[in-house]
A and B are shown apart, each in its own frame.
Chain A
Amino acid sequence: MADPIKVYPAKPSHVYFYATCLIDMFYPDAGMAGIQLLEREGIKVSFPKDQTCCGQPAYTSGYHDEARAVAKAQLDLFPEDWPIVVPSGSCGGMIRKHYPGLFKNTDQEAQAAGIAARTWELTDFLLNACHIKLEDLGAPTTIAMHTSCSARREMGVAEVGPKLLGQLQNVNLVEQVRAEECCGFGGTFAVRHPEISGAMVSEKVDTLTNTGAEAFVTTDCGCLMNIAGYAEKNQKPLTGQHILSFLWQRTSAGNGDKS
């Protein structure tokens, strides 16, 4: 569950960028967009090259020994006391909410707790630590937003995306019905229970399409892969983007990035 009270750091000079494996392999443009947004705010971004995956897929599947081994390999990547920013509510939630429990009663307990405490979902960090001000350079458009369940409920950032999009004067944000309902991704859930997951994503695509939006943005690549993948397979007139890609494209002159 979300923190009762979040104490944001002052805007720092440096951050660590923890990209997540989905962004690394499938959506690197969203990662680049996040890095460029941070750099434009005057922040030096350090990208630890030994980063792989937070360990969540094994963790939620119950393979905690395997998850711990992978998570342990991430713990030494952040030696300076800089904030760690993650372009995902899900992976951010894994580190912030579940690392302390995963390393409880181990030699890494204190280290994991320290890392958890300075891990932030990136849009939350841009809005509430960097106090970013966005200037919209794009043509008028209507979009919808799907906030991932982990961004909403674990990281408590449901209001962040709409606030950032609200700064873009040519963007008309419309809300789908049952906006807070899960899209049906759930990691291995989508593969273990394909029919249930399929029923959930089909309704999510319907509600998003019914808003009349041309596209949707989301905080998490798992949801993006799920919702956009369903829309594509079923030839629905809906495309999706990571919110960071969208924000960067709308606010950077001559940017040709597509992701």
Chain B
Amino acid sequence: MSQTTAQDPHHIDVKEFHSRARAAIADPKIRQNFRKAMDGLMVKRQDAFEGWDLEALRDLGANIRLRALANLPDLLEALETKLTANGIRVHWAIDSDEACRIVRDICIARDAKTVIKGKSMVSEEMELNHYLKDQGIEALESDLGEYIVQLAGETPSHIIMPAIHKNTAEISELLHEKTGTDLSNDVEYLTAAARLQLREKFMNADVGVSGVNFAVAETGTLCLVENEGNGRMTTTVPPCHIAVTGIEKVVGNLEDVAPLLALLTRSATGQHITTYFNMISSPRKPNELDGPEEVHLVLVDNGRSSIYQDDELLDTLRCIRCGACMNHCPVYTRVGGHAYGTTYPGPIGKILMPHLIGLDEGQHLPTASSLCGACGEVCPVKIPIPDLLVRLRQESVDGDKLNPAKVRGHGAKRNALEALVWKGWSWMHARPGVYRFGTAVAARLRNLQPGRLGGWTKYRTAPKLAAKTLHERMKERGQ
């Protein structure tokens, strides 16, 4: 097991980002696994959009999400009405705890002991498996990546590819150790073995839990994107299906789904379409042969409605969870998903998690970016991620009196010394005479310049001050 996953995944101190990142960077296997995977995903995405007017499609995607968010309260009510009319029971959860309790209560009412799960990041956010285990209910992941991560006692390191931090040999060893399969580098064999193990679980599970990619208000349809068929099994084989999702996943109309789906699969895995696309609109009807007797939707807030209150931060909620931002992030590629210590890693995690866990707990997340902008450039719904990172940096130091900070835990990173340094810096640079004098003096004293500059000179030489500033040279020129 790698160093980054050595801790209990349920008691991670997000503030320990630095030490986890250092450990990941020093781990050649982590570096290699992520670099190789991300390089491949970037090429696949690019190829998948070949021949498309990507900018026009991204504009369309962004506008669909913006329109849905602008009408979010109304759409949620419309969704509830339509789903209820279709026979799907709707539950509202203010936070993870309430969402977990709702799932538990449904399980208890059905005397359910085993739950089979399709992939759901919201259920990761809720730490649902952990909660159900404490309640004596076994929850088994059926997405292959999630299954691997669960067997390893880890958390997902990527929102689309949960086990991307492991290579085939590591997975083979894990399956061998935990399930008795043969050691093999044959991906087909390993997949078939896991499939066989899971098939039995599907047949015996009392409840299926899945996520939702898009919830359509107009028709009361829950859309689920997946590749392995486990999502369809989860939502149709057990007698009860519980879908869990964030309140932001609602869209107005069925026609909104096509462009978002086109963007989602291409951005995520470079696929034109996934192998399965499930549209769930009701429990089994009297004349139907399959499908669950009961279908529930748990709509989870968990901090989202407070994000919704701010016109700028609101853009965070546009996300359709494709993971392209992490695939293209040079920081994520170096440190991997576990270093962040959060449910959602990478750029989207850096702008979303501070709202979920507080900016005090998540204070290092917005700083762990060179603001290169690759995330914003590939985001299929044009979330201005770099701008939101800067906004959260401002919030974490209470850095703007004109626009007072409002995110929970704001100001936690402000310290007196750093604030004083910036005040001094600002004082000097707002006074041209002082600046010219100071920089000219520094140029004269350049041979006294320190050779060591903290973290900078650990990897690089110190930049050398020029003998004369450009200001001085222009003055000599008579300008």
Contacts and interface: CB of A to CB of B under 8 A. Distances in A.
Contacts of A24: 439, 469-471
Interface string B438-479: 010011000000000111111111111110111101110001
A247 to B, nearest CB: 17
Interface in A42-77: 45-47, 49-53, 55, 57-70, 72-73
- Chain A binding site: helix, strand, loop or mixed by DSSP? helix
A1 B432 contact: no
Contacts of B471: 24, 49
A149 interface: yes
Interface string A187-214: 1111111111111111000000000000
Contact of A197 (B384, B442, B459): B459
Contact of B369 (A27, A153, A186, A232): A186
B246 to A, nearest CB: 26
A106 B368 contact: no
Contact of B435 (A52, A150, A232): A52
A191 B454 contact: yes
B287 interface: no
A28 B458 CA distance: 26
A149 B442 contact: no
A186 B370 contact: yes
A184 B384 CA distance: 20
Interface size band for A: 35 or more
A65 B401 contact: yes
B422 A64 contact: no
Contact of A62 (B31, B55, B396): B396
Contacts of A201: 459-460
Contact of A198 (B18, B423, B458): B458
Contacts, number: 210
Given A51-B432, A62-B394, A182-B374, A25 B459 contact: no
Interface stretch (A124-132, A133-141, A160-168, A222-230): A222-230
Given A66-B422, A193-B21, A25 B442 contact: yes
Given A150-B373, A199-B334, A201-B460, A73 B454 contact: no
A63 B422 contact: yes
Interface string B330-352: 11001100000000000000000
A200 B370 contact: yes
A72 B403 CA distance: 17
B402 A105 contact: yes
A181 interface: yes
B22 interface: yes
Contact of A149 (B373, B387, B419, B466): B373
Interface string A214-244: 0000000000011001101110000000000
- Chain B binding site: helix, strand, loop or mixed by DSSP? helix
Contacts of B166: none
B466 A180 contact: no
A27 to B, nearest CB: 7
Nearest to A177: B39
Contact of B25 (A70, A101, A199): A199
Contacts of A173: none
Interface string B394-412: 1111011111000000000
A31 interface: yes
A72 B471 CA distance: 20
Contact of B335 (A25, A27, A196): A196
Contacts of A149: 370-374
A149 B430 CA distance: 27
A26 B432 CA distance: 18
Given A62-B396, A196-B368, A230-B459, A28 B426 contact: no
Given A49-B474, A70-B430, A182-B374, 13 more contacts: A1-B377, A28-B468, A28-B473, A32-B473, A61-B399, A64-B403, A66-B399, A66-B426, A73-B431, A178-B39, A189-B370, A229-B463, A232-B460
Interface of A: 1, 4, 19, 21, 23-29, 31-32, 45-47, 49-53, 55, 57-70, 72-73, 101, 105-106, 149-150, 152-154, 178, 180-182, 184-202, 225-226, 229-230, 232-234
Interface of B: 18, 21-22, 25, 31, 39, 55, 330-331, 334-335, 367-374, 376-377, 382, 384, 387, 390, 393-397, 399-403, 413, 419, 422-423, 425-426, 428-432, 435-436, 439, 442-443, 453-466, 468-471, 473-475, 479
Pick the 5 closest A-B CB pairs, nearest first: A186-B370, A194-B455, A229-B460, A62-B393, A182-B372
